[in-house]
Structure 1
Amino acid sequence: MGADRGGSGVRGRRPVRVMAYASCGALLLAGCASMPDGGDLRQVESTPRQDSQVRVYAIPPRPGASAAEIVQGFLEALTSDDANYETAGKYLTDGARKAWDPYRSTTVLDDAPDPVGLPTDTKDGTRDVQFRLTGGKVARVDERHAYSPEAGSYNGLVRLTKLKNKQWRIDGLPQGVVMGTSDFQRNYVSVNKYYYASNGTSGTGRPPATVADPVYVRAQVDPMTQIVRALLRGPTKWLDPVVTSSFPTGTDLKSADTSLSPDDRNRVTVPLNAEADHVGGTQCGRMAAQLLLTLQNLTPTGVDEVELQKSDGSQLCVQTMNQVEGIASHGTGRHQEGQYFIDRERRLVRLTGGDRDKKPEPVPGALGEGAKKLRAAAVSRDETSAAGVTADGRNLYVGSLVSGGSLGEPVLRSQGATPADRLTTPSWDARGDLWVADRDPKKPRLLLLRKGAGEPIVVQAPSVDGRIEAVRVAADGARIALIVEKNGKSSLQIGRIDRSAGDEPAGAGVVETRSVAPQLEEVTAMSWAGDSRLVVVGSEKGGVQQMRYVQVDGSTPLATTPSALANVKEIAASEDEQLPLVAHSETDGIVRLSSGEQWQKIVQDGMAPVYPG
């Protein structure tokens, strides 16, 4: 429960806010003080998320505070950086403090919760009053730190009682905490934990693929220790069926008061409990790789080395970031610079490097020779093969990217009556299998071709409600992004790839799809743009087309929004976030956006840009 707007608080009155002065040390009224790491204290109405140096300190209730001030002060104390909510607990009775679990969940509202006093019948001598907390729900963060979008109205009841010392205290309240969006953005930071895909790279000869599991932790409350504990506890519920952890069950930090931080060599020492005492060197290396990948974005320079310790303090293993590549396959697993698209002659062409004057060249092989006119293509992640959809959308061909290679017969043919009712752009997964959707209204299907050949396998997707319009498989092979159309509206959905039936592709399925951009009613293009991020083109109800980043959990990352671009038809990004976005605009043709720059025109006549995958 928290407050983040100037007009929040008990209805009809301005909320209590605090001005605190370093010179006198006096704290006036209940609430929070926002304190920069240096300089004077200052009055705060709302702390902007982008000011990373601002710290908010909880203030205990003042003697004689009214019931309304107690409620408001408690809500504001919960948005502070008080590590264990100790000050917030001072607003509660002893019984309420013992029963309340602030870590059970965090409910995010569009604005701060609005406390409304309820009528109280005082004729019977009652010493209790009640306030109802209201607001519009945006999201919820559960006990495993997983974020999920929510909608609808929030209603929470807070009951106060007057103690024998004549002080009001909260005697009943909802479990967890509630706060507005801006306070949530200031208080919490999104961090990727990393686990191993259960079978995402089976048979490829590569190390096991890592899968990003984004969670939210409190940004100013020892986030490194929080995220390591969350990693050791295991993956979030949605991801759990398709990933594994190298840490033995029950592994935790050695003690409850352990606090982790890098030393002056960017080395983090992690003391573990007895559950990890007997792991071997190979397993310990995989454990350390998970930790190193998880900790990379928590410090400005990253973490270079991790030492794992046994419960007696002796060394279990040491691993550096340079060693991770041989243990875990992260992202694409190889350096990629080339971008591909279909040129004016309907050939597959490749643009390499960042030289803006360099011209695209046809790829080697039949797909670059123009024998089959194409409208879309996908390049395998090792860039040795490509799949192309013919200009009418009816046929799918697969060929090698070597000179003189031939296509043969199409590997798939759609019976849809029009190009819009035929094949989507295909996508290659981490195992080298090819995914594509057939939009034939009489027989809509999501299909898988093992190694891009053989009899197409129908992928069961029971949770997909609508027709699949676009398919993109993540580099980890455990997740798939879909654009799904129903009743004239299209949404972006993420599903798990389930191969639980064994190594046979017939066991593949897409399960538990969830919408990750619910505010967009018309999603027209998307692409993976990182381990847990996508770039999306779409529009809200009655709005204009926009381009934005979204997380796979449905949250909006605090990253720069891509520069505006008109009439975008297709978008391509790489899991390597350092590589530029590439788009097809009806106005400007094929364009490219590198970090810190504006869109750069490549060619006027081109379409369907893609990165390998």
Structure 2
Amino acid sequence: MRRIRRLGAAIVLAAAVTCAGTGCTVIPVSGPYTMSEPGAGDPLTKPFQRMIATSPQPSWGPEQTIRGLQAAMAAYADDPTVLPQYLTAEALKAWTPSGAVTVLDEPLQFDPPEPGGAEPVQRITLSAKQVARIEEDDTYVPQSGNWERPFHLVKVEGVGYRVSQLPDGLILTRSDVDRAYRPTKLYYLNGSTQDRVVVDNVRLRLKPAETYAKVILERLLKQPSGALQGAASTAFPAGTKIESVRFGEDEHVVVNLSGPLDLLDLSGEDALMAQIRYSLNNNDVAKGRGISVLVDGEPYTSYQPDADDQRWLDNSGNTAFYVSKGAVHHMTKEGPGGAVAGPAGEQRQGYSDFAISKLATHVAARTSTGISMAPLTTQGGQWQEVIRGDDLTPPSWHRDGSLWTFDQKNRVVLRYDPAGKRGPIVVSAPELDRLRLDVTRLRIARDGVRVAVITGKNTVQVGALTTMGGLKLANFRPLTTTEEGNEILDVAWRDDEHLLVLAQSKAGQILNEINVGDGEVAEIPLKDRLKVLAALNEQVLAEAFGEKGKGPKILQLNEDLSWTSKIDSDVESPLFPLG
């Protein structure tokens, strides 16, 4: 299936371009190539075009001066000496480049200077559509709406206009960001189970003097973005440094580290290598190559490419299930399959919203009095109510074997651990509690870290299971909101980065795939009315309303975005383990 792809391809190296009247020049940085151009340069980096800004000119008017200032902002990371020349001494003393980067769409609009053009002080307003904000933790946050900012300029005799007041932070255009930044996937460790890597999507600025590979690994040494703060950890000890990233023999990638790593202690080397190789390979840097890690030039650990080694991205099987007349069944390639072993495979009434555990060893379902679970085994067993309550959201399994739900009546998150031999515990969710949010659906991602919740009828929020200071649901931020009068019906984790969101509008249903890292949306066309979603990577299933007299059916999404019927009638929820 066609998936969302963020900007990752190389920018074509072009001839130098002069920005007329703004004092900026875009020049290509020579030398690097991407892996898609084999044998043509260094695949450890990415080509990009560097912005070269020039000083303000005495002949420039207010608009030209502000355009030059914006160009100097685009070049600031590579050359911080030009931008201060656009500011008065007082403005320079008060200004700092730190803070979020504002990303504007083009063209930029300038209101004419206010009356009094002959005066030494001018006020000019810059306006545009804002498309994003890049936070200080490198998170790319899409924005929409109008943006404007007034600038005050002072004319200095023989020198020209200077900006007398400038709010903190940088203002870049979309083309500035496309030119110098790259969407980057960083991989950290699952904070609770330490058995899986978790992807963190950021935007990193390329550096002319460093390879993209080194830029990635230097950022990997820092804390994850705010979305994963307290939820993901690292195998790199504090104080580790990236000394170099280069090619060795047989085109191995050689990463030389320095710092407190102990060459005699290899207890964390597997996890450390997982962070390095996924962060390099999944950004199309050194993909398919072996990797050697040195510490102060001495061998520490190495990795040889192995297509079957996916344990650090383990999703625990891809078997699909479905429910028919209250009994759970396996789904085959052709469609209908046999009932599962044990009590879950027996027909019964009053059970709904089924969920399958990580290794498909247990099934959970909601009843009128709470949530019950049963083993998927031929060795007996029975349904057992493990969480009591008459207003609980559908159950969701965590990869550690625990079962989660939200008690809507008491507004608390509940977690039941079968290994704990005791009843459910309340998990702190301070942000949900503070806002008194009405949670109608809670789904934990297969990475064991991210959590999606539907709040009310109109909003999907994404948070994380944090472990610092005790287990909490935190770091929530809105992912998508429907218009008033519409309703979000269901959500399903497709993979670590994408959430499927089914919404009902006045005009009909909408199914979107949303990247939780940068908010990009791809709409999936619908023909039938859907009720329930289930997904696992390329597999997307849905329960759809059937024809009159036939009952619900299960549909499968094809690669060409069309839908085909897997089971035609008398079925309910499609299921995958976790998600």
Same-fold call, TM cutoff 0.5:
yes
**Structure 2 Cα separation of the partners of residues 29 and 398 of structure 1:** 70
Q: Which amino acid aligns with 2:196?
A: A
Q: Among 458, 461, 473, which residue is 1:490 paired with?
A: 458
Structure 2 match to 1:583:
542
Is 1:481 the equivalent of 2:448? no
Q: Among 58, 63, 68, which residue is 2:63 paired with?
A: 68
Cα deviation digits, residues 173-200 of structure 1 (max 9, x gap) = 33332345676567544322122233x2
Q: Among 391, 396, 406, which residue is 2:371 paired with?
A: 396
**Structure 2 Cα separation of the partners of residues 474 and 244 of structure 1:** 17
Structure 1 stretch displaced more, 565-574 or 404-413: 404-413
Structure 2 match to 1:351:
331
Cα deviation digits, residues 537-567 of structure 1 (max 9, x gap) = 2267x6653222223346216xx54343542
**Structure 2 Cα separation of the partners of residues 447 and 262 of structure 1:** 50
Structure 1 match to 2:395:
426
The answer to whether the Cα contact below 8 Å between 2:274 and 2:312 also exists between their aligned partners in 1 is no
Q: Among 27, 30, 36, which residue is 2:22 paired with?
A: 30
Structure 2 match to 1:3:
none
1:114, CA displacement in angstroms?
3.8
Alignment of 1:251-270 (within 5 A): 251-254=240-243, 260=245, 267-270=252-255
Structure 2 match to 1:4:
none
Structure 2 match to 1:5:
none
Q: Among 589, 600, 610, which residue is 2:564 paired with?
A: 600
Count of residues in correspondence between the two structures: 535
Cα deviation digits, residues 73-111 of structure 1 (max 9, x gap) = 44356568x971569749735967898655642123566
Which blocks of at least 5 consecutive residues in structure 1 are unaligned?
1-19, 39-51, 202-206, 416-421, 502-506
SS of the residue aligned with 2:555?
strand
Distance change in 2, residues 1:266/1:117 (3 Å): farther
Alignment of 1:64-463 (within 5 A): 64-75=59-70, 84=78, 89=83, 92=86, 102=97, 104-109=99-104, 114-119=109-114, 126=120, 128-135=121-128, 137=130, 139-148=132-141, 154-162=147-155, 165-168=158-161, 170=163, 172-179=165-172, 184=177, 188-198=181-191, 200-201=192-193, 208-218=195-205, 223-254=212-243, 260=245, 267-276=252-261, 280-299=265-284, 302-311=287-296, 313-322=297-306, 329-332=312-315, 334=316, 336-343=317-324, 345-352=325-332, 355=333, 357-372=334-349, 374-390=351-367, 393-403=368-378, 405-415=380-390, 422-439=391-408, 441=409, 443-451=410-418, 454-463=422-431
**Structure 1 Cα separation of the partners of residues 545 and 402 of structure 2:** 31
Structure 1 match to 2:40:
none
Structure 2 match to 1:609:
574
Cα deviation digits, residues 247-288 of structure 1 (max 9, x gap) = 12233333xxx6x57679664333334455768333344322
Alignment of 1:524-603 (within 5 A): 524-538=489-503, 544-553=508-517, 555-556=519-520, 561-574=523-536, 577=537, 579-586=538-545, 589-596=553-560, 598-603=562-567
**Structure 1 Cα separation of the partners of residues 397 and 232 of structure 2:** 20
Specify which structure has the bigger relative contact order, considering alpha-carbon pairs within 8 angstroms and separated by 6 or more residues: 2
**Structure 2 Cα separation of the partners of residues 212 and 518 of structure 1:** 24
Percent of aligned pairs with the same residue? Answer: 22
1:349, CA displacement in angstroms?
1.7
**Structure 2 Cα separation of the partners of residues 565 and 180 of structure 1:** 39
Distance change in 2, residues 1:186/1:527 (3 Å): farther
1:377, CA displacement in angstroms?
0.8
**Structure 1 Cα separation of the partners of residues 186 and 292 of structure 2:** 18
Distance change in 2, residues 1:538/1:325 (3 Å): same
1:292, CA displacement in angstroms?
1.2
Q: Which amino acid aligns with 1:585?
A: A
The answer to whether the Cα contact below 8 Å between 1:397 and 1:407 also exists between their aligned partners in 2 is no
The answer to whether the Cα contact below 8 Å between 1:496 and 1:512 also exists between their aligned partners in 2 is yes
Q: Which amino acid aligns with 1:145?
A: D
Superposed CA RMSD: 4.1
